[in-house]
Each structure stands twice: as structure tokens, then as C-alpha cells.
Chain A
Amino acid sequence: MNSGSVLAIETSTRTGSVAARFGARRGVQQLEGERAHAIDLLPRIEALLAELASDACAAALDSIERIAVGIGPGSFTGVRIGIATAQGLARATGAALVGVPSFAALAFRELAVGEDAATVFDARAQRFYFAHYRRTRVGLETLAAPIAIRAADLATRVHAATRILGDARVATLKELDAADRERVETGAIPRADAVLDLADLLPRDASAARTHALEPMYLRAFGEL
């Protein structure tokens, strides 16, 4: 199952990245800054393919069987750039498209087997994205799927988690218990190599959905923005 060629894209935060695997060779490259996602994404994919593939870049791209993309939650525009690019590549190459929650990729990469963590990031407009995962021996268990909630509704949810993966804003939230604020681990973000790993764990038929049917995890209708 882990032998096929995979390309992964993660652009839900300011620090986007791309990853790929061809047979036994793997690589990851980081994008350059937030504004640059639309500019930088395809040049980075091109560079990554050139680095990993023994054949010409075009042949490498054609050999990709699955394209995995982080669907958020996170920057709406960032996620749309990632998905639109993944859709175009999938449409042009016939590769299957796999959507992976960016928060799941974050938890999967940061947690040891048996550990659980709340992932909490500022969603602006007085909301926070929250999810809760446990790393298992075979993968990742979703204890609470991603939602967008007010700070006041975070306290009890966060308190129940063994670890808290968040951003600097979360670490200063008055609504959290002082002890929980201090437990917030900042700095970790979703990365494309973890998106790739999680995609490997998804059953093949999960990517059978039609190319365009992949929606970002907005978690908020327009009226709630």
C-alpha cells in the first residue's frame, strides 16, 4: 500500500509545504511565506519532483497515483490555493485526489502512540478551530472532529486533552485555566509530509470521489463569518 507514488500539498497556514514519495525516495519542501503560496506552490512541486524522480519531471508527474491535500481548517485562501492546484493536477494526470484534515496531519506528526492532543488555532472573528485526536498504533483516532467555537467554549474541551497544540494567541487566552494556558505547545503546524503519511492510512476508495467534490473545512457558513 505504501509503494505507490504520492504528492502531498499543505497550504492551510502561513508556512506551506509540499511532499512526495516515489518508491523508496521521499522529500519535502517548504514554501516561501504566506502571500507567496499561489506564486510558489507549483515551482516548489517542480523542484521537488526534479529532486526525487530519476526520470524527467513530466514522467514523474504522470507516475503519481495519488495527490493528497490538506483541507484545513486554516486560511480559507491558502486552502483554496492548495485544493485548486491539486484538482488541476489530478484532472490533468488522472491521479486520485485525497483530502486530509490539516489538524489531523498536525496531530499525527506530533503525537507518540497512545498520546492525545487538542489542536487549537485562532480562526479570527472571535472563533477558534478546535479538534481532539489520539494517536493509535495503526493511525489516528478522531475524538472530536474540527469545529469553530468561541473562546468561552474552549476551556472544558481543552482541559480534557493530554497535550494542547496551538498558536501564540491560544497560549494567552484568558478563558482557559492558567494551567492549561501554560500547557499550550506553540510552533508546530500541519506539514505536507504528515498529510502524505495520513493519506497512506486512508483506504483507496476514500479517494474515489470525483475530483471537484473536495471542499475545504470552512467550518463556518458565510453568515457566521
Chain B
Amino acid sequence: MTSARSELVLGIESSCDDTAAAVVRTGREILSSVVDSQIAEHAPFGGVVPEIAGRSHLRAIIPTVDRALDDAGVSLDDIGAIAVTERPGLIGSLLVGLCVAKSLSFARKLPLVGVHHIEAHAYAATMEHPVDYPTLALVVSGGHTALYRMDGPGELTKKAQTLDDAAGEAFDKVAVMLGLSYPGGPSVSRLALEGDGTAIRFPRYRAKDGKPGFSFSGLKTAVLYHLRGQDALRPTPPPEEIENKADVAASFQEAAVDTLVTQTLAMAEQEGLGTVVVSGGVACNARLRERMTAAADERGMRAVFPSPAYCTDNAAMIAGLGWHRWQSGQLAGLDLDASAR
């Protein structure tokens, strides 16, 4: 094994609706990152359909791995280890990436590393912007909204999580109410640009007993009741009959972002942490990036975001964190299993 070879990790990610592969050197230098998105296949259903996801992953996985190797200008012979998302996610989706990763590892006698998807998201923010540990990590996406104390790459301790919906899920649901396209994050924030975020005062989650946390179910319901003219028994108007759609989108986004910023920074203060890394699909949201950065600045803290391409699901973060796991000898066997949680 040459030294150059031993520094390259092939990462494979298939936990939800993106088939992804990447080649990363020494946990940081991204040689390639390929993401094959299934958004168009799930869009008619307004959300991810597990069986469709499993079928799509199987069709896409080998071409995606091949493209990642091609884009990096390397072959399987140059790879030193294989990292794969083992949890959490849709089990039928995870298994596709896992089986391919394990068989490549077995046939090529390459070390295999299992990576936790959320830990990798938190790690993603530190690939482009080195941080001093400990730091606080907010992972916010369509499936997760949680705060972690991060003591090193992949060393996470959960401090708080949403009591109900994930923030991205709330964006998806509001998008459906407003007749916007799936996924809801980009479509709601695009419409919000044309609206007034102060037009409607939607509720913000307030920390109970001084413990920061999140909840987005009440906010979603508040938007629904607003559309029904505050009469819960009235039918929800069809999207084309909603008048101030842009104001609703902007005011909803403002409330969601407000909750994320306030609770995250409150936790950072409680924990005495000066840096906040934000990742996951919702970290692409421009308003969140702007407000979190400004609010952290006011408190003498630093907010760090990955580039948008590395906020959403990708395999570069899997290969990146996989490198650290590999270097510290945390290897998996051929009996590695996937787990939904």
C-alpha cells in the first residue's frame, strides 16, 4: 500500500433520497462528490416514499460510485478505505449503499468504516472551516433538528432535539399548503423573498424550564389556522385562493429561523461554547445563514456553515468523517448492519 493510496477514502451515502459517492483525501480534501438526487421521483407524492427510494438507489449506486472515481481521476486500486452511512435513515435505502460498500471492501480487501449520518453532517461544517473543539453543532434538515456538543470529529453528545417535526418537514408542509413545489425549503424561501416577514406574527417555540429546544408542529398548525381565517373548522382554501402567499411564506420562515437562532445560541451560552456549526439541508436557507451569523456576531460567537452543496446529503462528509474513524482504528466487519435509528 503506497502512502498516496492510504490517504483516499471512498464514501458512500444512501440513507434517504440521494445516492451519493465521494473521494476525499485525509478527511478534508474533496477530490470528488457526486450526488444523484431522486427529488423528481418523490415530488408527485410530496415527500420521500421509501420503496421508491430503495428502487432508485439500486439503479444509481454503481454508476454513482463510478462517477465519483472518474471525477477524482482515480480507480478502485487507489482507494485506501471505504466509508458508508450505516445509520440513521430509511432501512431499505441504507442497505443498498451498505451492501455495495461491504462487497467492494471484501473483494478489494479494503478497511470498512461505518459512519453515523448525523455525525457526518456536523463534521461537514468543519471540513471547509477548521474549528476549535469543543463546539456546538446544529443539524437541521427534513428529518432532523437537534443540537449537539461536539468534542472532536464525530464526537457528538446530543443536548436537545425537536419535540415533534423537523424544521425541514415544517417547510415541506407549509409548501404543500401554499401550493409550492417539493422540497419545501427552497420553494418557500424563494417565495419569502417577495413577502414581508413581519406581516403575520406566527408563534416561536419558548424554552420550557430554561432548557433550549425546538418544536415546529405548533408553527405549522398556526400557518394552517391563519389560512383558514383562524377558524379551525373551516376547510383549508386551495392554494390559488390564498391572497398574501408571499407574506405567509416570509412570516413562517421568519418564525422558523427565529426559533432555530434563539434556541441554538441560548444553548451555546449555557454550554459556554463560542462556535456554532450549522449543517443539514435547512442550513442552505439564506435567511438562516444571515440571521445566525449576525446574532452570533452580536454575542461575540462564531457561526460556521458548509457550502450549500455540503449542507444537504452528500458522501464527502461520510468519506471525511470515515477517515478519522479509520485512522483511529474504528473498523467495521463484513457483518455491519444498517439501522433506521
Contact = CB atoms under 8 A, between A and B. Distances in A.
Contact of A85 (B54, B102, B108, B333): B102
A91 interface: yes
Nearest to A35: B337
Interface stretch (A21-29, A76-84, A152-160, A176-184): A76-84
Given A42-B102, A91-B65, A80 B54 contact: yes
B338 A38 contact: yes
B141 to A, nearest CB: 24
A77 B57 CA distance: 12
Interface stretch (A106-114, A135-143, A199-207, A208-216): A208-216
Contacts of B62: 87-88, 91, 211-212
Contact of A80 (B66, B76, B95, B104): B95
B31 interface: no
Contacts of A45: 106
Contacts of A77: 54, 91-92, 95
Contacts of A46: 106, 334
B335 A43 contact: yes
A222 B51 contact: yes
B284 interface: no
Interface in B56-70: 58-63, 65-66
A76 B56 CA distance: 13
Contacts of B100: 84-85, 87-88, 91
Given A61-B107, A83-B58, A222 B99 contact: no
A38 B63 contact: no
Given A85-B102, A225-B51, A215 B61 contact: no
Residue of B59, B60, B65, B96 with highest tally of chain A CB at under 10 A: B96
B49 interface: yes
Given A77-B92, A84-B61, A84-B96, A42 B103 contact: yes
A212 B95 contact: no
Main secondary structure of the interface of A (DSSP, over half): helix
B227 interface: no
Contact of B58 (A39, A61, A216, A222): A216
Contacts of A39: 335-337
Interface in B70-128: 76, 91-92, 95-96, 98-104, 106-109
A93 interface: yes
Interface string B218-247: 000000000000000000000000000000
B211 interface: no
Contacts, number: 97
A132 to B, nearest CB: 26
Main secondary structure of the interface of B (DSSP, over half): helix
A78 to B, nearest CB: 10
Nearest to A40: B335
Contact of A76 (B51, B76, B98, B336): B51
A91 B104 contact: yes
B334 A43 contact: yes
A92 B79 CA distance: 12
B55 A218 contact: yes
A41 interface: yes
B59 A212 contact: yes
A177 to B, nearest CB: 34
B59 A87 contact: no
B228 to A, nearest CB: 31
Nearest to B60: A212
A84 B92 contact: no
A165 interface: no
A58 interface: yes
A44 B61 CA distance: 23
B46 to A, nearest CB: 14
A195 interface: no
Contacts of B95: 38, 77, 80-81, 84
Contacts of A212: 59-63
A126 to B, nearest CB: 17
Given A40-B335, A215-B59, A216-B58, A80 B96 contact: yes
Contacts of B92: 76-77, 80
Contacts of A40: 335
Contact of B103 (A88, A215, A216, A222): A88
B52 interface: yes
Given A77-B91, A80-B96, A81-B95, 12 more contacts: A38-B95, A38-B337, A39-B336, A40-B335, A42-B335, A80-B55, A88-B107, A89-B106, A91-B76, A212-B61, A215-B59, A216-B58
A-B pairs, 6 with minimum CB distance: A88-B103, A92-B107, A84-B99, A212-B62, A88-B100, A42-B334
Interface of A: 38-43, 45-46, 58, 61, 76-77, 80-81, 83-89, 91-93, 211-212, 215-216, 218, 222, 225
25 contacts: A38-B98, A38-B338, A42-B106, A43-B333, A46-B106, A46-B334, A58-B109, A76-B92, A77-B92, A80-B54, A80-B99, A84-B61, A84-B99, A84-B100, A85-B99, A85-B102, A87-B62, A87-B100, A88-B62, A88-B101, A91-B100, A92-B103, A212-B61, A222-B49, A222-B51
